[in-house]
Amino acid sequence: MVYSMTGYGQATGVFGTKSIKAEIRSLNGKTTDVRVKVPALYRTKELEIRNLILERSSRGKIDITISFESDDGDDSYKINSQLIKQYYEELAKVADAYQLSKNELLPSILRIPNVVELTDKALDEKEWLASKAIVNQAIDAFNSFRLTEGKAMQKDIVDQVSFIHQLLDDVSPYEASRIKALKEKMNKNLKNNNEEISIDKNRLEQEILYYLEKLDITEEKIRLAQHCKYFLEVINSSDRVKGKKLSFISQEMGREMNTLGSKAQHSDIQQIVVNMKDALEKIKEQILNIV
């Protein structure tokens, strides 16, 4: 079960004459960053709304917006008409003096402190319970969206990991020829550079074996196979949050691939490693969007 970090969910409902709407959207983020935007009437409930999100969703830059429309209007605001008039008259004089447009004067004035004042009206508890239910419905839709996106990513990632494992099996046929080629190369270099030097063949064979042991790739293959297996176990687990763990495992996979490629000294094996790295980069890009 994989959840995408990007998501969207909304829900609407009615309380009395009000139509209430909750919208949640998220983008990628290393941590959980919740931003709440609500009408002034709901300001006292911001922390509770934030906690609802934190309890049921994880990771990402999450924005939640609650808005409502009422047949009776929003009586939690009061416009200071006298103050608007004073500001407009003064700013209009400035605009005339500098031959500026007056089209944006009113929107600008409405953003000035104390022009639009909040009333002391308290949020009705029944209204809050109705709004809270709507928020939970939006979270349900949000999580469902994330899960649907996550399933598509999970399939693609699992396919890439399976491809890496298949490529790892493709290395085996080249190992015997690889060792033979390395031995021949070393013997040839010794003959070319030491034609007049007497060589102890037994000692030479020991040194060649020691050198070949240093270039042995068996451990790297085993560790990479284990990392692939563990990666699949984690991504298929029931844990909700797994993006960071998968990122750590992919880093370890990359290290084994790098060592495998540097030790190989065989063009066909190195080409296989390049294909492995290409698949791993695709995996890493997808992991960035996993919760």
Using pLDDT thresholds of 50, 70 and 90, give the confidence band for residue 79. confident
What are the pLDDT digits (tens) for 31-42? 899 999 998 889
Contact present, 194 and 212 (Cβ < 8 Å): no
User: Is 180 within the bounds of a domain?
Assistant: yes
Contact present, 220 and 171 (Cβ < 8 Å): no
Record the pTM.
Answer: 0.74
Both tokens of 223, joined, read 């560790």
Same-domain pairing of 88 and 31: no
Same-domain pairing of 36 and 97: no
Contact present, 289 and 154 (Cβ < 8 Å): no
Nearest to 128 by CA among 241, 2, 15: 15
User: Is 42 within the bounds of a domain?
Assistant: yes
What pLDDT score does 14 carry? 94
User: Is 158 within the bounds of a domain?
Assistant: yes
Q: What is the mean pLDDT of the chain?
A: 88
User: Is 2 within the bounds of a domain?
Assistant: no
Single-letter amino acid, residue 276: M
The rounded distance, in Å, linking the Cα atoms of 176 and 183 is 11
Q: Domain tally for the chain?
A: 3
Domain boundaries, position 101: 77-110
The rounded distance, in Å, linking the Cα atoms of 48 and 142 is 18
The rounded distance, in Å, linking the Cα atoms of 244 and 86 is 56
What pLDDT score does 34 carry? 96
Same-domain pairing of 256 and 127: no
User: Is 131 within the bounds of a domain?
Assistant: yes
E strand or H helix at 70: strand 60-70
Same-domain pairing of 101 and 128: no
Same-domain pairing of 180 and 218: yes
Please indicate whether residue 71 or residue 29 has the higher confidence score (pLDDT).
Answer: 29
Cβ atoms within 10 A of the Cβ of 253, count?
25
Contact present, 143 and 241 (Cβ < 8 Å): no
Please indicate whether residue 31 or residue 282 has the higher confidence score (pLDDT).
Answer: 282
Same-domain pairing of 230 and 128: no
Same-domain pairing of 36 and 83: no
Using pLDDT thresholds of 50, 70 and 90, give the confidence band for residue 168. very high
Q: For the residues 198-219, what does the mean pLDDT come to?
A: 68
Please indicate whether residue 12 or residue 266 has the higher confidence score (pLDDT).
Answer: 12
The rounded distance, in Å, linking the Cα atoms of 66 and 50 is 12
Three-state DSSP state, 16: coil
User: 138-142, 265-269, 281-285: lowest mean pLDDT where?
Assistant: 265-269
Return the ∠ at Cα 12 (arms to 10 and 15), rounded to 5°: 150
The rounded distance, in Å, linking the Cα atoms of 8 and 146 is 8
Cβ atoms within 10 A of the Cβ of 276, count?
26
User: Is 115 within the bounds of a domain?
Assistant: no
Same-domain pairing of 271 and 217: yes
User: Is 117 within the bounds of a domain?
Assistant: no
Same-domain pairing of 136 and 240: no
What pLDDT score does 267 carry? 86
Contact present, 287 and 243 (Cβ < 8 Å): yes
Contact present, 60 and 6 (Cβ < 8 Å): yes
Q: For the residues 101-109, what does the mean pLDDT come to?
A: 89
Same-domain pairing of 90 and 141: no
Same-domain pairing of 24 and 101: no
User: Is 226 within the bounds of a domain?
Assistant: yes
Q: For the residues 66-80, what does the mean pLDDT come to?
A: 74
Same-domain pairing of 31 and 69: yes
User: 104-118, 158-172, 173-187: lowest mean pLDDT where?
Assistant: 173-187
